Structure 1
Amino acid sequence: MTPETADITDTIWDAAAGFVDRHLHDTDFTTAAFDEWITRDPRHRIAYDTLMGVARDAALNDALAAFDSPPAVNIATVKATRRKVMTYGIMAAAAVAVAAFVLPPVVYDQITPLSVYETEAGQPREVRLSDGTALHINGASRVEARITPFRRHVRLSQGEAYFAVAKDADRPFTVALDGGDVRVLGTQFNLSYMPGGVELNVYEGKVRLKGSDRKFGLFTRGMRARLTDGAITPLPAFDPDGGDWRAGWIEPDNWSLERVAQEFTRRSGTPIRFENDALKDKRIIGRLRLDDPQSQLETLAVVHGFEVARENGQIIIR
């Protein structure tokens, strides 16, 4: 599977910022190059209109003016009024890099577009973010990402994802979760929403998991933890080389049957329904193949004393 790139490249935003600044300040500006650029790709118009709106946003201009330390301007090359300096500063914040300015991270956060990656059950997906981070997103999952020159913010709001985070000591990588967050500089880990919370598995490097009570734990290769209602619980170690859902397998270690069913549905796309809720808490141990949930569940049924049927495209556990 070929990883996808971020939806809008940094190059487009750089070019858009340049055209906006020239439109606002260059009296000798000619439209030929702009007309060719703006019609070449629909994303060019989106970027240009977005940044022009930012440049004319009075509230954002006021916010920039309120900073105690205003952006540093190269006086030798930029001779402008206060208004021009401020407007060009906003454009620098919108673009990825304009060397004449050092602007506060909050400006980048406001104008950097949010990329959303959402999968249906049975349709895992690979994505490569603009910083080089690779995401392996399981089925029935949702990831939101905003990567700026200062910060790397991601939110996993449902499902499961494996993160291979590009190393960048100057830009910590944060994943927001229900009840807490994960923070790293460059490492590999898996996060999964399951019945009762979110589970963290660390494959490489070091991961800081913080709960809503601001308490945190540091976890390294082979370590696991669960985040439940904002509280962190360390779990028994696992084998990072043992394979996982990305290879089409899971190895339940005293998992609930409900969680096993959830993993089957994410990977295969087959809905699984419990007719008897008491069966959800059956504890499962073993190695299971994810692409054939019915046969795997039928094998478990013999051991654990339940029945499996298929009705109207669903697997029924009773």
Structure 2
Amino acid sequence: MTEPSPHTLNTAQAAAADWLARLDRPNVGEADWTDFDAWLNAAPEHQQAYDQLLALWSEMEAAAPHLDRALTQPSRSRPDASRRWLLAGGLAAAGLVAAVTPWGDITAPTTTYQTAKGERLSVALTDGSRIDLNAGTRLTVRLMGRERRVVMTEGQAIFDVAKDARRPFLIEAGDRTVRVLGTQFDVRYRDGRQSVTVARGRVEVRPSAGAAGQAYRLTVGQRLDHETGGAEARISTASPQAVFAWRTGQLVYRNEPLANVVADLNQYSDQPLKVADARTGRLPFSGVLAASNSHDMARTLTLIAPVTSTSTPEGLLLRAK
């Protein structure tokens, strides 16, 4: 009986290779991406196989110049054919069983984008993606050969991600990582609270390394809420148009915890707002506020929400009635 070769591709790896070739065609369409997304999310081993294939592809692209130089050397300095095939086989096997070091990513630059209080910023990335930053946001972007990675330390941003089958787009916010291949969604991370709202396509939100919890896949009109350090997350329906309204100067809320509303308003108003206690912070708030650097938002908030306000040296203190 013939033993299978250790380099033989399994079913998931073979399918991943087919998908990479299919999505690399110049005439790839939306139906291709929809089918690919369904395959990727059908089983954990599909994503693992695809990630391993991307790692191998990145390694091969990075090594290509070195191999070209080696193969064009005079024959007396070349390794013999058997050694070359042994090296190639070893690299291929390593790439298929583990994520190899992305040589080409070592020099990839990291760019920081930051907005001040009351400021918004739109950024066009070199991969064709776009990021709209809300006020009081700070994030870093690194576009590498194997992946595109954003780290959001504070704030809110809308991501319109260009499709790239070879480079997943990852956003780290607190202890959660959002993974996409091409879609549009909003990520908010303030005061240790995270939310992700999807407007187009699908995204995966999973615990970052060392964090507790499970992975969730969100589609259009879904929102995930999570507090850093906890294992649980809450999935609800949301209007992407309402969530995205801050780009046009409107803050739209539907049963939003007052603590989240206050954290947003503090990115626009010179007068700091604070909630007196956890009970006040949990109060649901619904309404539309004009995003402006003035006392008007705080005044409107106290008129709509069931709270009282007291001026203190630290700012305006809100307390549930």
Alignment TM-score > 0.5, same fold? yes
**Aligned partners of 1:258, 1:167: CA distance in 2, in Å?**
35
**Aligned partners of 1:135, 1:105: CA distance in 2, in Å?**
28
Residue 139 of structure 1 and its aligned partner are, at CA, apart by 1.5
Q: Deviations over 1:244-300 (max 9, x none)?
A: 21122222222222211221232x253423373464333211222222663343233
Alignment pair present for 1:220 and 2:219: yes
1:116-135 to structure 2, matched below 5 A, reads 116-135=112-131
1:46-65 to structure 2, matched below 5 A, reads none
Contact 2:222 2:237 in 1 (8 A): yes
Amino acid at match of 2:290: R
Residue 204 of structure 1 and its aligned partner are, at CA, apart by 0.6
Alignment pair present for 1:171 and 2:172: no
Q: Deviations over 1:135-156 (max 9, x none)?
A: 1011111111110232211111
1:275–1:214 Cα change, 3 Å: closer
Question: Per chain length, whose mean CA-contact separation is higher, i.e. which structure has more relative contact order (CA < 8 Å, sep 6+)?
Answer: 1
1:107–1:232 Cα change, 3 Å: farther
Match of 1:247 in 2: 248
**Aligned partners of 1:232, 1:188: CA distance in 2, in Å?**
24
Amino acid at match of 2:205: L
Alignment pair present for 1:302 and 2:303: yes
Q: Deviations over 1:157-198 (max 9, x none)?
A: 111111000111111111112112011000011110134521
1:172-211 to structure 2, matched below 5 A, reads 172-211=168-207
Greater mean alpha carbon deviation, residues 200-209 or residues 286-295: 286-295
1:19-168 to structure 2, matched below 5 A, reads 71-73=66-68, 77=72, 106-168=102-164
**Aligned partners of 1:194, 1:303: CA distance in 2, in Å?**
23
Match of 1:31 in 2: none
**Aligned partners of 2:126, 2:230: CA distance in 1, in Å?**
30
Contact 1:272 1:317 in 2 (8 A): no
Contact 2:206 2:215 in 1 (8 A): yes
Q: Secondary structure at the match of 2:171?
A: strand
Provide structure 2 residue ranges, at least 5 long, that are not aligned to the other structure: 1-58, 79-99
1:232–1:198 Cα change, 3 Å: same
**Aligned partners of 2:232, 2:126: CA distance in 1, in Å?**
31
Q: Deviations over 1:6-36 (max 9, x none)?
A: xxxxxxxxxxxxxxxxxxxxxxxxxxxxxxx
- Number of corresponding residues: 231
**Aligned partners of 1:189, 1:304: CA distance in 2, in Å?**
28
Q: Deviations over 1:190-241 (max 9, x none)?
A: 1101345210000110100001336211101110002322535233211223
Percent of residue pairs bearing the same amino acid type: 26
**Aligned partners of 2:101, 2:135: CA distance in 1, in Å?**
33
Amino acid at match of 1:297: A
Alignment pair present for 1:236 and 2:215: no
Match of 1:43 in 2: none
Contact 2:271 2:295 in 1 (8 A): no
Q: Secondary structure at the match of 1:270?
A: coil
Contact 1:226 1:233 in 2 (8 A): yes
Contact 2:171 2:179 in 1 (8 A): yes
**Aligned partners of 2:241, 2:64: CA distance in 1, in Å?**
50
Amino acid at match of 1:173: F
Match of 2:273 in 1: 273
Q: Secondary structure at the match of 1:252?
A: strand
Q: Secondary structure at the match of 2:261?
A: helix
1:126–1:111 Cα change, 3 Å: same
Residue 124 of structure 1 and its aligned partner are, at CA, apart by 1.4
1:75–1:175 Cα change, 3 Å: same
- TM-score, length basis structure 2: 0.62
Provide structure 1 residue ranges, at least 5 long, that are not aligned to the other structure: 1-63, 83-103
**Aligned partners of 2:65, 2:212: CA distance in 1, in Å?**
35
**Aligned partners of 2:107, 2:149: CA distance in 1, in Å?**
14
- TM-score, length basis structure 1: 0.63
Please tell me the root mean square deviation across aligned C-alpha atoms, in Å: 3.3
Contact 2:202 2:220 in 1 (8 A): yes
